Amino acid sequence: MVHCLFAQGVTAVTAEMTVRFLREVPLGCDVSVGAKLLGERHGVFQVAASLSLEEKRLAVAKGKFCRTAR
């Protein structure tokens, strides 16, 4: 999720993250990872992400990230 922020030029660190596993994540398979910036308030960014295999969602996550000092 932090790479979603890096791609937008934001340097941040993880403040909080929750992950919900929906299905077993198999080993040795290529999975798809996606992340989306939900919003920002007072330097705290909220990001959502998902892990999928063949259109089946395996896990979802939400996180809060704090901008680092420059």
Decide if 54 contacts 8 (C-beta within 8 A).
no
| pLDDT reported for residue 63 | 97
Domain count, the chain: 1
Residue by residue, pLDDT tens for the chain (70 residues) are 999 999 999 999 999 999 999 999 999 999 999 999 999 999 899 999 999 999 999 999 999 999 987 6
Task: List 66's β-bridge partners, or say none.
Answer: 13, 44
What's the pTM? 0.85
Q: Which range marks the domain in which residue 34 is found?
A: 2-67
Q: What angle do CA 40, 68, 7 make, to 5 degrees?
A: 65
CATH number at residue 27: 3.10.129.10
> pLDDT per residue over 32-45, tens digit each?
999 999 999 998 99
